[in-house]
Structure 1
Amino acid sequence: MNTVSAAEWEEARLRLLVKEKELTRARDALAAERRRMPWLAIEKPYEFEGPSGTVNLLDLFEGRRQLIVYRAFFDPGVEGFPDHACKGCSLVADQVAHVAHLNARDTTLAFASRGTQPDIARLKTRMGWTMPWYTITGDFDVDFGVDEWHGTNAFIREGDQVFRTYFVNDRGDETMGSTWSYLDITALGRQEEWEDSPEGYPQTPPYEWWNWHDAYEEPASSGGGCCSGS
């Protein structure tokens, strides 16, 4: 244990702060590169089961412009099923921030598994989770790299055309959960004026859009038209 005076402690903290600021700027630059990733058009139809019946990938957007889908392992054969999802996926679910903040940025977060809807509903109630959670019924997990391991896919839509814009898995998923970490992997980012984004991307002043999670007015989704993948 290294014991120092208050002045020495503050000096050490400021030295570390320089490196932390460098990391923040590097993270911002990386997010700017994500916003310039090419878009992959999704032509194959995908179906899921939701609380109200069969839905497709476009339905998962819930009318918003962007969609983030986390493939959680709550499947037959997974340890803990049907009482629990896998421990790692459960940890991810526990740290998800209130989705109203993502919704305010025209972005929907959804989880998807192969467990049935009654099992998912029971699990969500037991664990206190509120994010939309769908049952995979087709090849979505296989086609998007999450049939054996967890992963997070990001999508955007132009009208009814859906595009895949980003994918992260392995340790990249451990940072997920905050509003900012999710927005930073989307094609449109945080949509704030300070960001380095392609021309024409939606941006508003920072802080002005922030609100209590029960006080947002749901924006009308543009459905596309403001920008396109390169």
Structure 2
Amino acid sequence: QLIVYNHMWFEDAEWQCSGCTGFTTQFTRLMGVEKFDARFVIVTQGPIDEALAYKRKVGNAMTWYSTANSSFGSDVGAPPNAGFAVNVFLRDGDKVYRTWHTDGRGVEQLSHLFGLADLLPYGRQEEWQDSPEGWPQQPTGSRWAQSKEIAAAYGENS
């Protein structure tokens, strides 16, 4: 059993997607998943040497793989330079089945950060929320920790 997070990757970017970086840094202790005979990994379309350097830079603990120069990202709903997703696979002998997929707001439901923020009276304070007039609202993602902040807090030079 394999849970794959497809992390967005932008060629030649110093900082990769803050949403993806923030999401994946929430998963630092994966022993619980392993007890279910499963693994949780990150797949990106960036070159593996750059991906591993970025992993260290932001202090990510998960195993990273690269699918550079392959159609894997597009095949599973996370096209180059545009997509992120969570996919779950089951291998049965020589056959591999994709048993679950989500992207966009569906991925957010797997995050403890958004679950906690959604409990707050003002919620995430994002424009898409149906909030009473006068309540704080800002552009979606503007309150999220940026990749550079995550690196400062958790990365190899923190």
| 8 Å Cα contact 1:154-1:165 kept in structure 2 | yes
Residue 151 of structure 1: how far off its partner (Å):
0.7
Residues in 1 aligned to 2:60 and 2:32: alpha-carbon distance in whole angstroms: 16
Q: Select which of 63, 78, 83 maps to 1:149.
A: 83
**2:18 equivalent in structure 1:** 87
**1:67 equivalent in structure 2:** 2
- Is 1:167 matched up with 2:98? no
**1:131 equivalent in structure 2:** 62
**2:39 equivalent in structure 1:** 108
Alpha-carbon deviations, 1:112-169, whole Å to 9, x = none?
A: 1121122122111121112111111311111111103211111111122110101011
Q: CA RMSD in A?
A: 1.9
Residue 176 of structure 1: how far off its partner (Å):
2.0
Query: Partner letter of residue 168 of structure 1?
Result: T
| 8 Å Cα contact 1:96-1:176 kept in structure 2 | no
Secondary structure in structure 1 of the residue aligned to 2:3: strand
Structure 2: stretches of 5+ with no match in the other structure: 113-158
| 8 Å Cα contact 1:76-1:114 kept in structure 2 | no
Alpha-carbon deviations, 1:27-58, whole Å to 9, x = none?
A: xxxxxxxxxxxxxxxxxxxxxxxxxxxxxxxx
| 8 Å Cα contact 1:92-1:177 kept in structure 2 | yes
What are the equivalent positions in structure 2 for 1:193-204 lying under 5 Å apart?
Answer: none
Residue 85 of structure 1: how far off its partner (Å):
1.6
- Is 1:140 matched up with 2:76? no
| 8 Å Cα contact 1:69-1:111 kept in structure 2 | yes
Residue 177 of structure 1: how far off its partner (Å):
4.4
Secondary structure in structure 1 of the residue aligned to 2:88: strand
Residues in 2 aligned to 1:175 and 1:96: alpha-carbon distance in whole angstroms: 14
- The structure that has the greater radius of gyration is 1
Output the TM-score relative to the length of structure 1: 0.45
| 8 Å Cα contact 2:28-2:60 kept in structure 1 | no
Output the TM-score relative to the length of structure 2: 0.63
Query: Partner letter of residue 166 of structure 1?
Result: W
| 8 Å Cα contact 1:69-1:109 kept in structure 2 | yes
Alpha-carbon deviations, 1:84-121, whole Å to 9, x = none?
A: 22111111112124122211111111111121122122
Residues in 2 aligned to 1:134 and 1:124: alpha-carbon distance in whole angstroms: 11
Residues in 2 aligned to 1:75 and 1:114: alpha-carbon distance in whole angstroms: 9
